[in-house]
Structure 1
Amino acid sequence: MKGNIGMSDNDLLTLFKEGDHAAFKLIYERYWQLLYISACKILKDEDEAKDIVQEVFVSFLNKGGDVDISVAVSSYLYSAVRYKVFDFISRKKVRQNHLDSLEDYMSAGDFSTDRALIEKEINAEMEKEIQNLPQKMKEVFELSRKAELSHREIADALNISDKTVKKQISNALKLLKPKFTNYYSIVLMLFFKLF
């Protein structure tokens, strides 16, 4: 690896595409701090900047031999970081705008009917996602959450093991949880505003 230190980016890229991870490490060491500083200047948040730079390098590493760069390696990496930074800012702004408008709406007055409507919509959305689960997983999940049966009762009813029941419920929760992250923040906001 020491012989590679003075190599050009293009030579290192060629070695990396051939599977040489030491070449990737050198590219990483060459550009990590510069990319981090660049992201930090825009975001003003060290943790977010680190996360974004790490995402770019993980993506670069995962592409491996398939990475297709028609510009200098430095330009490619800077562009990737810049894109991620602007995408992050855009998503953060949209999320904040939604929360701000919801807060404005909620502070405008009595909305007990609206609360019931929101709860109904969230429940309907959750039900739709539950219906999209694989059949056996859906059946186990509904027996657990709707019928409120224990793992043993579900195992006996479906002639499967306790371990299978636990695994099916765990998998269902893993599939459902990411879909409702935004709903959770809305529900929490409603809860704190109303009570």
Structure 2
Amino acid sequence: MAPRCLFFSLIFIALFLSALARNTKEKCVYTFYVKTGSVLKGGTDAIISVTISDANGQSVEIADLESWGLMEKNHDYFERDNVDIFSGRGPCIEAPLCRLNLTSDGSGAHHGWFCDYLEVTSTGPHRSCSQTAFYVDQWLATDAPPFQLTTILDGCDDWIKGHEASRHTSRGKLVVSGSKGSASL
């Protein structure tokens, strides 16, 4: 009787570990809508990188967002008053996505960039769709205020505490606002 019990215990452990290993390899789909501002010289030729994170500190980093671009061939991304669409697969992290690190490398003839907003949608196997809007509303430039090539919008603490600055709206979207001070949709 003992060998049979041991056999089934080993099978159970093996199945549990294989299921655990499979879950760590799951990939989620992330789709970004990025709106460049309508201000003069708001577009850029720089390389834009994005890191999105959840409240647990897990993150997905895209070193060159343009490499995930879905627009037509030879499209000029991050140009004035355009909405560009990007999509790719990355490791699954928890919803909501509440932290954004948006960075320009400052390269190219037109290095400065004014980002209005970035909206990200994520979904994956056995997961509901999650959507977050980050209202950046600032320059990523060394020659325009706030004279930085990186901005970080973090609504994770407010989300955890249930405060107003970041919340789910009636449409189920987490909203994180930067320089405007509060979030609403």
* Band the TM-score falls in, shorter-chain normalisation: under 0.3
TM-score (norm 1): 0.21
Looking at both structures, which has the greater relative contact order when contacts are Cα pairs under 8 Å and sequence separation is at least 6? 2
TM-score if structure 2 supplies the norm length?
Answer: 0.22
Answer 1 or 2: which has greater strand percent: 2
Structure with higher Rg: it is 1
**Structure 1 or 2: larger helix share?**
1
